[in-house]
Amino acid sequence: MTLRLYNTLTKEKDELNPLFHDPATGKPHVRMYVCGPTVYDFAHIGNARPVIAFDVLYRLLRHVYGPDHVTYVRNITDVDDKINARAAVDHPDLPLNEAIRLVTEKTDAQFQADVAALGCLPPTEQPRATEHIDGMKAMIERLVARGVAYVAEGHVLFSPSAMDALNGKLPRYGALARRSLDEMLAGARVDVAPYKKEPMDFVLWKPSADNEPGWPSPAGIEGRGRPGWHIECSAMSMAKLLEPFGGGLSCDDPQKNTFDIHGGGIDLVFPHHENEIAQSCCAFGSSRMANIWMHNGFLQVEGEKMSKSLGNFVTIRELLDEWPGDVLRMVMLQTHYREPIDWTYSKCIAASAELYEWSSLIGAEFALMGEEPDFPHDSALIRALSEDINTPAALAELRAYYKSAKGGSLESRALLAASLKLIGFRKLDQPGLFRRELSSLNAESYGVVEAVETANKLRAAIANTAPQTAISQLTSMLEAPGFRLEIGPGSRLLIVPASGDPEIVIKQKIAARLEARRAKNFAEADRIRAELDGMGIALKDAKDPATGEIVTTWEVKR
């Protein structure tokens, strides 16, 4: 299977040809790095876009090359001035370093929970910047020694013009963004500082005050300091994607100091990724940091740029309080990752409705699928994803599978279930999570319409594995005097009277029917089934895999 991925560096779709092959087996091994979160606040929905896009790519790579032959690194930035500022505000009575630890640990834990609810696999490695300070300092020492970085007033700065003055083996600064130094300077917000030789010079290391996080400085500088943003990713990618595979600062082979894929949002092309390339290529003497550079497009909310001033700034957590993670994932996949996406409420409604239809049809098959189901490499779904992660085309194939499965094709049912599992959906064995309504049984006086919003929040809480305290609180909000909530098969929500509970009657009738079947009194069993059908109750029989006994479940008919 050939994978073609759009390369920001070449402006073309390039074929993925893994650089590293296992010496023992000869099998290719793919290495991918994606810029991760700066853990100082809740991640917003725009941050979810690269996480989901590159999770789909990661899943595809694992499917094509095997889980043991893909290394996916997504870093955690836990040293940053924004973190320092947040820690001082949130914990003013604590020493700053202690406050920083509390902020980063809490924010990282929330991020991990959020992206797991979105159906994203954990990367192979999630290095933290503070764990790789020594690697950053070693790279900085190398850059100073090679004459592309210099020390000034306790800072170490990288000089793009010095890089461009070196021999032609290095890439031109600005090649990724396709802009000259003058063009980048005109369009950039650069720090004006007297210690800079030129305006485009950027910080590799800066001094720390006594109350700021810091480490002994490199390049002969006295005192403590901390790294700049760009050097962090260069050092972490080196540690996780080069050194275990024979590359790194001790390796003189430029080919071994290049990995396969580097990803992130389109806003990172300049200056972050441009500066990463400059640092890494100068440190290693290589022509490329990564063979393929991939960038996802911007996200808007209801047709406008997301901003706090417009009141449309929304976090992943806020959306997960309202919607199952599978719904948010579905909305993201409907737009190609490189295209701008307009996030709207109506898209969430439509995605939820479609997932309800799919899960109602293939829920049983989905429940039986493993996390990485066996799947034909030449399927239409895989071909769509292999052409630059074309998720809209992949969803079109899924809709074709659904149409065929609805027409009675058992093969299409299994194929649809396996496909949905393969691209990261989690809860499609529970159709009730995707309903936007609330059912009642003999509870006509209950205010069902008024309770729908709370019911939807409960569905989201169940789908996203919220704490049991949150689920219990939402459940109690749905219970009124004389009524209670029943969470039935497939997580379907049903309001029933608290007294004279019809569920008891239903279960008694089901037990009587099973007893009639055991006695081979099938006429009586059929009569009871017909009686329950008249009450609006649908039965489903299945064998208990452990005992072989018939087990009957029920639900309110739609």
Whole-angstrom distance, CA of residue 102 vs CA of residue 87: 8
Length of the chain: 558
pLDDT in tens, 119-154: 999 999 999 999 999 999 999 999 999 999 999 999
pLDDT in tens, 36-45: 999 999 999 9
Tokens of 193: 């500082």
pLDDT at residue 113 is higher than 90:
yes
pLDDT in tens, 151-202: 999 999 999 999 988 767 788 999 998 877 666 665 555 567 889 999 999 9
Which range among 60-64, 303-307, 365-369, 372-376 shows the weakest confidence by mean pLDDT? 372-376
Global confidence as pTM? 0.88
Nearest to 470 by CA among 55, 98, 113: 113
pLDDT in tens, 369-423: 888 887 777 889 999 999 999 999 999 999 999 999 999 999 999 999 999 999 9
Structure confidence at residue 418 (pLDDT): 95
Structure confidence at residue 558 (pLDDT): 59
Distances, alpha carbon 381 to alpha carbons 50, 61, 221, 385, in Å: 21, 14, 56, 6
Structure confidence at residue 182 (pLDDT): 67
Structure confidence at residue 186 (pLDDT): 57
Which residue is associated with the tokens 């979160």?
37
Q: What domains does the chain contain, in order, with CATH numbers?
A: 4-300 (3.40.50.620), 346-431 (1.20.120), 435-497 (no CATH), 502-556 (no CATH)
Nearest to 275 by CA among 422, 379, 283: 283
Mean pLDDT for the stretch of residues 422-442 = 92
The shares of helix, strand and coil residues in the chain, as percent rounded to the nearest 5, are 45, 20, 35
294 — alpha (psi -120 to 50), left (phi > 0) or beta? beta
pLDDT in tens, 15-29: 999 999 999 999 999
29: Cα separation from own chain's centroid: 22
